[in-house]
Amino acid sequence: MKKVLTLVVLIVSIVMLFDLPVHAKEVRGITNDAIKIGVSTDMTGPVVSILGQMTEGYRNFFRHINDKGGINGRKVEVVVEDDRYSIPLCVANFKRLLYKEKVFVFIPSGTGQTKALYRNIEKEKIPTFTVSLAEDMVIPYRRYIFIPSATYEDQITLMFKYIKEVLGVKQPKISYVSPDSEYGKTGFRAATSTAEKYGLKLASTEVLALGAFDASTQAMSLKRTKPDFVILVEDLNSAVAMLRDARKLSLETTFFGNYYTCDDDIVQLGGKASESYLGVQSFSSWHDDIPGMKTVRNTTLKYYPNIKPRNRYYMQGWVTAMIITEGLKKAGKNLDTESFITSLESIKNLDSGGVTGLISYSPKLHKATEYLKIFKPDAAKNRLVPITDWMKP
Amino acid sequence: MTSGDFKTSYKADMAIFQTVWIKLWMAGFIVFMIFFPFWAGPYLTYVVNLAAIATIGALGINILTGFTGQISLGHGAFIAIGAYSTAILTADAGFPFWLALPTAALITAISGLIVGGPSLRLKGLYLVMTTIAFSFIVQYVIIKWESLTRGSTGMGVPTPKIFGHAIDNDRAFYFLIIPITALALLFARNLIRTKVGRAWVAIRDRDISAEVMGVNLARYKVTSFFVSSFYAGLAGGLYAYYITDISPEHFPITLSIDYLAMIIIGGMGSILGSVFGAMFVTMLPEGIRIAADVFGTSYPVLVDRFFEVKVMAFGLAIILFLIFEPTGIYGRWIKTKIYYKSWPFTY
């Protein structure tokens, strides 16, 4: 009887503990002289070449802003946590950054990571700039989630538009190559629906895993299909493997790569094989002669005089930081989460000096821009050069 | 004054908490655990919750590998089955929490029976290969069977409700996960002391001798797979509820290796070892962070290269344990206890 009584008392007290209020709300991450921004990113894992430089981008932009006196008298402090591109670690970092570091803005490391945090982001009302460019990050509308560029879907749509409307190919035969993951499937859905819009059908689809070193099977199969264009939704390694093996089998086609392959490395690694490559990108190159890029180069070289040219993902970091800064400036000295979101949603045609297209948000859509450029390799310069101006899909 | 802990009955000898002091310590520990989340705040509570879920998973693989000697690299796949069963039962079939979790664990246990089948013919490396193959099959099925699992997109898990209370924050989850973990520990501890547990240990130590003694190898090996997968299913189910959105990316092949690492570090063939291992692996990054904060001023490399140091420390811990303390933290714990018991005399 005594045991039962103890148990009952214990259960009742535990149930009562449930009802105690969780922490009182305050303007998290903002003090009189600082604004904290939390980043969960890959510093030691599989996509460090992309996310590592992106993180440098945030850091250097905010350092530049701090050196100019900060934002409305406050300095920006960037807190970085490593998640090795793993979802559970990113969720852990989210909690740490939010509850321990008390950050004002959060930047998660990928599509799966952001999706796993949807409910938490909504509940905690934390402004989030996701690294993922998947359309379903922002459609349907999520008040606290923003993306800093055009989406993966926009990139695919623009490829079709370029082939049909700019190159004027009447009945192009288009194949699709991607890994068998959500990243590949997102592209596949966009490719089939855009093809349908133009009254086309994909000639074939091939599966090529990310990080692959061999694509001869896929090249053989493409050789049988003989497509005019191949949409390549891959990462750098597998794209280079695809280009090389296609050249080995003297496959005559044009490979159209997206955001994650459209960087100067593809020319440097692919060599002659990259001649058959075209790429779609939201961000300009380090070498481009435009005012925005001059600021990027001068500032970065000021802090790190011996640094090698940074990649496009560095530019994404830079632009993300620029958008956050603009939102913070507009929200004024007495900002809170809601006024920050409202001021972000009021950004219209923010000019990055050509680092990316004009940036606008609206209270309905949190996609920064639709502008993209098409790039092609330049063997003499050993890098990609733009062949179009900013285009909308 | 008593000069030793002498037992006068079998009951006293078999008791889990043998002395008054241990009972007092346990009571103190329980009180500490009840107040812990109020003192620790949401982040530490989150870490402890994950460690508790990992403890249940580690118990599962310890039963199979540590007690029965069947090395498995398919534990991550069982955890995935548990998580997906819970998600599907809750989101699609509309099962309430109290029904979904045990059902999911049972489904996982039944899939464990299927994998357990080949273990009757396969041993050692061959069994490892079979379980790895099973992991790949599970991964493939989850990605391909889109109508059921939503494929690589992943699926959301509704918030569990108990007596009308929505369990939707770290503290509420703490009071859900910790009691379940305690029950799981108690059940495993008791199971090991029964005929079944002894049969498992006999199979681990030498299966031929076990069979000669009359242990039904087929039955006990399959039971071990069943119980081990049940635990994995439980851990997976709780994980799904806690993380709220699961996809195949949550359950990579390396998850099985992580669990194996936990019991190697904690101590194979020991219940307490599972707890130590799970705690150590989940808490190690926090420990290194504290070290980096404390020693950061004299060794700035710890701060600059924090992320690399963290990964290296983890690898180093496993290597050092394998070389210097193959019995894991549990073995070290026992040695330390004996040392203080007989202090200042070494005998």
Residues in chain B: 347
Which DSSP helix (H) or strand (E) runs through A77? strand A75-82
Q: What tokens does A3 get? A: 């045991």
pLDDT at A25 over 50: no
Distances, alpha carbon A99 to alpha carbons A29, A35, A37, in Å:
10, 15, 13
pLDDT (mean) for A78-100: 87
Strands B245-246 and B155-156: what pairing? antiparallel
A7 C-beta neighbours (distance < 10 Å), count = 10
pLDDT band at residue A22 using 50, 70 and 90 as cut-offs? very low
Average the pLDDT over A36-61 and give the result: 91
Q: pLDDT at position A23, please?
A: 40
Rounded CA-CA distance B219/B195 in Å is 13
* Least trusted range by pLDDT, from A7-11, A207-211, B60-64, B208-212: A7-11
Output A83 or B86, whichever has higher pLDDT: B86
Q: How far apart are CA A49 and CA A252, in angstroms?
A: 30
Closest CA to A361 of A378, A386, A344, A383: A344
Phi, psi angle pair for B284, to nearest 5° = -50, -45
* Residue B21 CB partners (closer than 8 Å, separation 6+): none
* Cβ-Cβ contacts under 8 Å, B150 against chain A: none
Would the pLDDT of A45 be above 90? no
Q: What is the mean pLDDT of residues B21-46?
A: 88
Nearest Cα neighbor of A279 from A264, A260, A257 is A257
Q: What residue of B is the nearest CA neighbor of A119?
A: B244
How far apart, in whole angstroms, are the C-alpha atoms of residue A234 and residue A187?
10
Q: Which of A392, A17, A98 is nearest to B179 (CA)?
A: A17
Dihedral sign from CA coordinates of B65, B67, B68, B69: positive
User: Which pLDDT does position A9 carry in this prediction?
Assistant: 57
- Are B42 and A87 inside 8 Å of each other by CB? no
A24 has a pLDDT exceeding 60: no
Q: Which residue has the tokens 């992580």?
A: B258
CA–CA min distance B126, chain A (Å): 28
| pLDDT value of position A5 | 57
Query: Is the pLDDT assigned to residue A256 strictly greater than 60?
Result: yes
pLDDT for position A13: 56
Report the gap between the CA of A187 and the closest CA in chain B (Å). 13
Residue A95 near chain B (CB below 8 Å): yes
Give the tens place of pLDDT for each residue, B244-296. 888 888 898 888 988 998 898 888 888 999 999 999 888 887 787 777 777 77
Q: What is the mean pLDDT of residues A17-43?
A: 74
The B residues from 180 to 239 touching A (CB cutoff 8 Å) are none
Q: Which residues on B lie below 8 Å from A82 (Cβ)?
A: 306-307, 310
Q: Is B296 on the interface with A (CB under 8 A)?
A: no
Residues 41-80 of B with CB under 8 A from A: 41-43, 46-47, 50
Q: How far apart are CA B106 and CA B227, in angstroms?
A: 9
**The total number of residues written for chain A in this structure:** 393
More confident residue, A322 or A110: A322
Closest residue in A to B166 (Cα–Cα): A18
Distance CA B285, CA A96 (A): 12
